[in-house]
Amino acid sequence: MPKDWADAETIERFANLSNSEPLYPGSSSIALNADGTLALVGGTEGAVGIYLTAEKKVGESYNAGGPITAAVWATDVPLVATSLGEVKILGDKETSFKSHAGSAAALAVHPSGDIVASVGVDKSFVFYDVPNGKAVTQIYTTNRKTSSHNVLKFNREETSQLT
Partner 1 sequence: MQDITFSENGIWFAAVAKESNQVVIFDLRKEGKGAQVKQLEIGGTVQSIRWDYSGQYIAASGPGGLSIVQYTKSSKSWSDVLSVAVPATAVAWGPEAKSLVVVNADGEITVLSS
CB 66 within 8 A of CB 46: yes
Among 53, 61, 95, 137, binds partner 1 (CB under 8 A): 53
Which stretch, 22-30, 91-99, 130-138, 147-155, contacts partner 1 (CB under 8 A)? 22-30
Strand partners, 98: 86
Which helix (H) or strand (E) element contains residue 148?
none
Is 34 one of the binding residues for partner 1 (CB under 8 A)?
yes
Is 151 one of the binding residues for partner 1 (CB under 8 A)?
no
Query: Between residues 53 and 95, which has the closer beta carbon with respect to partner 1?
Result: 53
Q: How far is the CB of 15 from partner 1 (least distance, A)?
A: 7
User: C-alpha angle with apex 78: 76 to 81, nearest 5 degrees?
Assistant: 155
Strand partners, 106: 119
Query: Between residues 52 and 136, which has the closer beta carbon with respect to partner 1?
Result: 52
* Rounded Cα gap, residues 90 and 80, in angstroms: 8
Is 11 one of the binding residues for partner 1 (CB under 8 A)?
yes
Q: How far is the CB of 38 from partner 1 (least distance, A)?
A: 10
CB 59 within 8 A of CB 85: no
Strands of the sheet with 134-140, listed across from one edge? 104-109, 115-120, 124-129, 134-140, 160-161
Is 21 one of the binding residues for partner 1 (CB under 8 A)?
yes
- Which chain residues interact with partner 1 by CB under 8 A? 1-2, 4-6, 8, 10-32, 34-36, 39, 41, 43, 51, 53, 56
